Amino acid sequence: MRVLILGGDGYLGWPTAMDFAAAGHEVMVADNYMRRNIAEATDSDALIGAPCLSERAAIFEAVGGKPIKVRISDLSDPEVMFGLVREMQPDTVVHYAEQPSAPYSMRGFREARETFQNNLDVTFNCIWAVKEHAPDAHIVKLGTMGEYGTPDIDIEEGWIEIEHKGRKDTFLYPRAAGSLYHTTKVLDTDLLWFYVRTYGLRVTDLMQGPVYGISTDEADLDPRLCPNFHYDDIFGTVVNRFLVQAVAGVPLTVYGGGGQTRGYLNLRDTLQCVRLAAEHPAGPGELRIFNQLTETFTVNDLAERVQQAGNQMGLDVEIRSIPNPRKEKEEHYYNPAHSGLTELGLKPHYMSETVLGAMLERIIENRDRIVSDRIMPRVRWS
């Protein structure tokens, strides 16, 4: 299978590329280094520096024996996107190429506009490039569980049958996201759904929860193949951030009450989910939506698990609530369905003490690089 990965330099994009290549697929990655540039501009470098994409591809070819083609290019330019799709004629386009930080998208007008335009334009160009040059290709789009927000009813997988005044119909599950970044993904889904039903495109939209982890089979081959592991307030997801705080000896910063519940998954499971979706494509005219998570936790649960894993390794871990910089419910109902990917064959890697312990070890090896003042929230929602 020919797989084109948009946003192939990212925390998830790069390990996904290696995973597909290791499985024998022909892989091309494209990226414009937007995340790297934002990380530099906001003083949010990753814990472990990752070489540029062409270097990583060369290292992976040397140690893993599989080539990955690299294109450094701006996918918000339609000519670039059309050119790539025309050139490669992919069977699958995995679309990660979005500005992924919620806090960055809430920082001010410039950052909001950059997020809004990049994310929407890349999705728009991706749809049209596939429609015009590879209409049978399957788009695997990374959405987010954050699209749904925290409704007071069960979250279904993308669709909901509504019974109203004695009549019934099925709709896209209504969504209300908590940041502009998450809202761009709501808009992506609306746009994909329009073009799927109008032109018969094949799309899987993966509503992913926050990911944690640093280890994958291929990333473990060489330290330079490590995903971009962020622990800062801009790009660091909560579990990764807590683990770094545990190692740095600063309190784990719980935002507000800590009752915020989300669905989490291990980086290894992201790779499984994306590959399962690609290897079992949606049909023509189908917008298939999966909720991509394996277990749900409150922020307080996470803090306690990290504390426990830290204690096991002799770290003294304190937990401290700080004023919530976000606008979100701190106590709420949360019950998301997530059986679709399991039915396709997902075998979850749960958040065990062993998993957290292995991450802590890796962070301890790099503890000299931790800059503690990157961890506290620098952006407030209002």
Token pair in block for residue 31: 């990226």
Comparing CB distances to a copy of itself, the nearer of 66 and 326 is: 326
Part of the chain binding a copy of itself (CB under 8 A), chosen from 166-174, 231-239, 275-283, 345-353 = 166-174
| Interaction mask 112-131, a copy of itself, x per CB under 8 A | xx--xx--xx--x---x---
Asked if residues 122 and 186 have their Cβ atoms less than 8 Å apart, the reply is: no
Residue 255 is a binding residue for a copy of itself (CB under 8 A): no
Q: How far is the CB of 232 from a copy of itself (least distance, A)?
A: 22
Return the residue matching tokens 């896209």: 172
Binding residues among 71-90 for a copy of itself as defined by CB under 8 A: 78
Identify whether 347 is a catalytic site residue.
no
Binding residues among 324-363 for a copy of itself as defined by CB under 8 A: 327, 333
Pairing of strands 167-172, 159-164: antiparallel
Asked if residues 197 and 206 have their Cβ atoms less than 8 Å apart, the reply is: no
Part of the chain binding a copy of itself (CB under 8 A), chosen from 12-20, 24-32, 145-153, 307-315 = 145-153
Asked if residues 169 and 101 have their Cβ atoms less than 8 Å apart, the reply is: no
CA–CA gap between residue 46 and residue 108 (Å, rounded): 23
Burial of 257 (0-12, 13-18, 19+ CB in 10 A): middle
Identify whether 181 is a catalytic site residue.
yes
Q: How far is the CB of 259 from a copy of itself (least distance, A)?
A: 18
Q: 335 to each of 149, 157, 175, how far by Cα in Å?
A: 11, 11, 15
CA–CA gap between residue 40 and residue 15 (Å, rounded): 22
Part of the chain binding a copy of itself (CB under 8 A), chosen from 31-39, 63-71, 109-117, 355-363 = 109-117
Asked if residues 123 and 191 have their Cβ atoms less than 8 Å apart, the reply is: yes
Identify whether 144 is a catalytic site residue.
yes
Comparing CB distances to a copy of itself, the nearer of 150 and 294 is: 150
Beta strands in 32-158 (DSSP E): 68-72, 92-95, 138-144
Comparing CB distances to a copy of itself, the nearer of 33 and 381 is: 381
Q: How far is the CB of 183 from a copy of itself (least distance, A)?
A: 4
Return the residue matching tokens 């919530």: 324
DSSP code per residue over 308-363: HHHHHTT----EEEE--SS---SS----B---HHHHHT-------HHHHHHHHHHH
Comparing CB distances to a copy of itself, the nearer of 304 and 328 is: 328
Residue 377 is a binding residue for a copy of itself (CB under 8 A): no
Part of the chain binding a copy of itself (CB under 8 A), chosen from 35-43, 64-72, 184-192, 338-346 = 184-192
Asked if residues 216 and 15 have their Cβ atoms less than 8 Å apart, the reply is: yes
Pairing of strands 295-298, 261-266: antiparallel
Comparing CB distances to a copy of itself, the nearer of 279 and 286 is: 286
Asked if residues 121 and 76 have their Cβ atoms less than 8 Å apart, the reply is: yes
Residue 167 is a binding residue for a copy of itself (CB under 8 A): yes
Comparing CB distances to a copy of itself, the nearer of 33 and 199 is: 199
Residue 132 is a binding residue for a copy of itself (CB under 8 A): yes
Q: How far is the CB of 89 from a copy of itself (least distance, A)?
A: 19
Sign of CA dihedral 220, 225, 227, 233: positive
Part of the chain binding a copy of itself (CB under 8 A), chosen from 9-17, 37-45, 157-165, 311-319 = 157-165
Return the residue matching tokens 């065990």: 352
Q: Indicate which residue of 96, 173, 181, 212 is catalytic.
A: 181
Token pair in block for residue 297: 């936790």
Q: Indicate which residue of 144, 204, 216, 270 is catalytic.
A: 144
Q: How far is the CB of 150 from a copy of itself (least distance, A)?
A: 10
Question: How many residues line the site for a copy of itself (CB under 8 A)?
Answer: 45
Q: Which of 11, 14, 104, 173 binds a copy of itself (CB under 8 A)?
A: 173
By annotation, the residues acting in catalysis are 144, 181, 185
Residues at the site binding a copy of itself, with contacts judged by CB under 8 A: 78, 109, 112-113, 116-117, 120-121, 124, 128, 132, 151-154, 160, 162-165, 167-169, 171-177, 180, 183, 186-187, 190-191, 193-194, 197-199, 327, 333, 381-382
